[in-house]
Amino acid sequence: MIIEKVEATNEATNKSGFEATVDIAEDGLTAKLSLTFLSDDSEITVEDLLKTLAENNVVYGIRDDLINEICNNGISVIDVIVATGIEPEHGQDATIDYFFTEKRKPFPKTTDENESGFLKNLDTLKLYQKETY
Could you give the CA distance from residue 11 to residue 15 in angstroms, rounded to a whole number?
6
Name the maximum alpha-carbon separation found in the chain.
107
SS3 at position 56:
coil
Summarised one tens digit per residue, pLDDT across range 26-69 is: 988 999 999 988 887 788 888 989 999 999 999 999 999 999 99
How big is the chain, counted in residues?
133
Neighbours of 58 (CB within 10 A): 22
Could you give the CA distance from residue 47 to residue 91 in angstroms, rounded to a whole number?
37
Summarised one tens digit per residue, pLDDT across range 62-105 is: 999 999 998 888 888 999 999 999 998 888 999 888 776 656 55
Phi-psi region of 41 (alpha: psi -120 to 50; beta: other; left: phi over 0): alpha
